[in-house]
Structure 1
Amino acid sequence: MKVIVFADVTDPWAYIGSTRFERAAAMFSILTGEPIELTYRALLLEPDEPSDGRLLVEALDERLGGRDQVELVNAQVTAAARITGIDLNFDEAVQANSFDAWRLLTWADESGPGFQRDLLHQLWRAHFLEGADIGDPFTLATRAALVGLELETAEALLASTEYADEVRTQDEVGTSLEVAQLPYVAIEQRWTLVGIQSQNDYVQALHQIYTEWKAEQPSEE
């Protein structure tokens, strides 16, 4: 089955939910023998926010209307991440624009199986755990190299406007779908799973969708 997941590099819920879905998809494939072809697409949560070096908690303070609210949300996210085996460090995370990251991720998707997923997880860890600026070209290019992509090609891409139109189109599609929560999982362009769910819930949903999908496939003569 073909699956598209709308996410953002700067959204911790997308990080947690996508990780759970990937594990569920792997388990589903082991149990059924049916491969899941997974592709990520951009839905930019804060497209106009710059990469300005501010601490993320300061930027969130402005968006959410107070430090108490920020601490409450961060505590909820951190708890959900810990259950999933993900470490977060909001104290050092910096405000970043994810547009260039998605240009790189779109290229990675065309570079071969696994590159996009590996790079996306590198960028999530860089942003939410290591305090790296994932809007910075050097950070992006070096993370691409870490997953086996060509460093010089990544640097040249980031110095250009390559894949900018593709990222804008991805974001426009996500917006047209009126996505309210990430991750947004679209399966075979028909079934959707919206927002973070447990790994077990994802597995059960995949089994149900697979049953319906197989029933619709033309029988082999």
Structure 2
Amino acid sequence: MDRKIFLTNGFLGLGAIAALPTAITSCSEDDKVDTAAPANGGGNNSSDCVISPTETVGPFPIRTPAQYVRASIFGDRTGIPLLTTLTIQDQSSDCTPLAGVLVDIWQCDKDGNYSQYGGNQLQTTNYSNQNFLRGRQTTDANGQVSFISIFPGWYPGRAPHIHVEVLTTSGISLLVTQIAFPVSVYSAVYATNGYNGAPDRSNAQDSIFSDSLSRNMADSVTGNIVDGYTLFKTITVG
């Protein structure tokens, strides 16, 4: 799918301005990341060929992910648009792009709630009959997939994040990981109306990211609170 068409359709679907985001240039000490969009759309060279951190699926994994093959995953959720482009590469093959594998993605909404769960102590709001902000795609010849969603909120005890799982076409899991956001970016988002303010855990305080933050961090995040954001991340499997 042409990324410009994908971006425009996704942003218009959210009622936002369809424009390529401009670069975010500031970073704090615990979110050091190159925020200029990679010229190749993501990806690492052989010197960076390290398997991505393995992280928990968390308490809200996708139920029957094969039912959610789609590029636009925001559903009826509102928030600042986010286009996420992931490049999957194979360490066992000199980190060449890995075509034809499944990529599952899931995240919370702007209020910190997940679909398919709720009505209990873990998440009081009951969204067990909804399926927003969950999706699956198959990587193209360049090892890439793209999803249009909204910038995630946060929930108590965790810094902002997105969950990703890479699987073979037969359903064998190759890696479960999570993506972190630069503090400067999520601070700008959470200062806007509609989000629930600053998270109670920074990236540096987050127990999941404590031993691997630099490798969990998005490769680049560009954009602004008016036009939305674009995230690139290369994920390496073994």
Question: Shorter chain as normaliser: what TM range?
Answer: under 0.3
Structure with the bigger percentage of helix:
1
Structure with the bigger percentage of strand:
2
Structure having the higher Rg = 1
**TM-score normalised by structure 2 residue count:** 0.22
